[in-house]
Amino acid sequence: MLRCVRTTLSLDDDVAAQLEQLRARGDRSFRQLVNEALRVGLAHLDRANATLRGPFTRTVSLGAPRLPDVDDVSEALVITEGEGYR
Protein backbone atom coordinates (compact mmCIF):
# COMPACT_ATOMS: atom_id res chain seq x y z
CA MET A 1 0.00 0.00 0.00
CA LEU A 2 1.40 3.36 -1.01
CA ARG A 3 1.50 6.01 1.63
CA CYS A 4 0.57 9.50 0.53
CA VAL A 5 2.87 12.31 1.66
CA ARG A 6 1.40 15.76 1.68
CA THR A 7 3.90 18.50 0.89
CA THR A 8 4.15 21.96 -0.59
CA LEU A 9 5.88 22.04 -3.92
CA SER A 10 7.12 25.25 -5.55
CA LEU A 11 7.11 24.95 -9.32
CA ASP A 12 8.75 27.24 -11.82
CA ASP A 13 6.23 29.09 -13.97
CA ASP A 14 7.14 27.18 -17.14
CA VAL A 15 6.77 23.80 -15.41
CA ALA A 16 3.43 24.76 -13.88
CA ALA A 17 2.21 25.95 -17.28
CA GLN A 18 3.20 22.68 -18.98
CA LEU A 19 1.48 20.64 -16.28
CA GLU A 20 -1.63 22.78 -16.56
CA GLN A 21 -1.69 22.34 -20.36
CA LEU A 22 -1.42 18.57 -19.98
CA ARG A 23 -4.15 18.57 -17.35
CA ALA A 24 -6.47 20.56 -19.59
CA ARG A 25 -5.94 18.09 -22.49
CA GLY A 26 -6.50 14.90 -20.53
CA ASP A 27 -8.52 13.27 -17.83
CA ARG A 28 -5.79 13.23 -15.19
CA SER A 29 -5.70 15.45 -12.14
CA PHE A 30 -2.88 17.88 -11.46
CA ARG A 31 -1.70 15.59 -8.68
CA GLN A 32 -1.63 12.57 -11.01
CA LEU A 33 0.36 14.52 -13.61
CA VAL A 34 2.91 15.75 -11.07
CA ASN A 35 3.41 12.22 -9.74
CA GLU A 36 3.72 10.78 -13.26
CA ALA A 37 6.20 13.48 -14.29
CA LEU A 38 8.27 12.87 -11.15
CA ARG A 39 8.30 9.10 -11.72
CA VAL A 40 9.43 9.50 -15.33
CA GLY A 41 12.02 12.11 -14.40
CA LEU A 42 13.38 10.09 -11.49
CA ALA A 43 13.69 6.98 -13.67
CA HIS A 44 15.58 9.05 -16.24
CA LEU A 45 17.91 10.45 -13.58
CA ASP A 46 18.49 6.97 -12.18
CA ARG A 47 19.47 5.66 -15.64
CA ALA A 48 21.74 8.66 -16.21
CA ASN A 49 23.45 8.09 -12.85
CA ALA A 50 23.86 4.39 -13.64
CA THR A 51 25.84 5.25 -16.76
CA LEU A 52 28.05 7.58 -14.73
CA ARG A 53 28.86 4.78 -12.31
CA GLY A 54 30.45 2.76 -15.10
CA PRO A 55 34.17 2.67 -15.79
CA PHE A 56 35.73 6.08 -16.30
CA THR A 57 38.63 4.82 -18.39
CA ARG A 58 39.09 2.22 -21.04
CA THR A 59 41.54 -0.58 -20.42
CA VAL A 60 44.28 -0.96 -22.99
CA SER A 61 46.86 -3.69 -23.32
CA LEU A 62 50.36 -2.24 -23.20
CA GLY A 63 51.99 -5.51 -24.19
CA ALA A 64 54.66 -7.42 -22.34
CA PRO A 65 56.99 -5.53 -20.03
CA ARG A 66 60.39 -4.71 -21.51
CA LEU A 67 62.13 -5.66 -18.28
CA PRO A 68 61.29 -9.06 -16.84
CA ASP A 69 62.07 -8.01 -13.27
CA VAL A 70 62.60 -4.56 -11.79
CA ASP A 71 63.34 -5.68 -8.22
CA ASP A 72 67.03 -4.97 -8.81
CA VAL A 73 66.97 -1.26 -9.63
CA SER A 74 70.67 -1.18 -10.45
CA GLU A 75 70.27 -3.96 -13.03
CA ALA A 76 67.19 -2.25 -14.51
CA LEU A 77 69.21 0.96 -14.96
CA VAL A 78 72.03 -0.96 -16.67
CA ILE A 79 69.50 -2.51 -19.07
CA THR A 80 67.84 0.81 -19.88
CA GLU A 81 70.84 3.17 -19.70
CA GLY A 82 73.55 0.80 -20.84
CA GLU A 83 76.80 -0.32 -19.22
CA GLY A 84 78.00 3.29 -19.09
CA TYR A 85 75.60 3.82 -16.20
CA ARG A 86 77.96 2.00 -13.80
Give the predicted TM-score (pTM) of the model.
Answer: 0.52
How confident is the model over 40-75, as pLDDT tens digits?
999 998 887 776 666 667 788 888 877 777 788 887
Q: How far apart are CA 43 and CA 37, in angstroms?
A: 10
Q: By the 8 A CB rule, do 78 and 86 touch?
A: yes
pLDDT for residue 1 is more than 70: no
Nearest to 16 by CA among 28, 29, 34: 34
How confident is the model over 15-48, as pLDDT tens digits?
999 999 999 998 899 999 999 999 999 999 888 7
pLDDT for residue 85 is more than 80: no
Q: What is the pLDDT of residue 52?
A: 63
Q: How far apart are CA 55 and CA 69, in angstroms?
A: 30
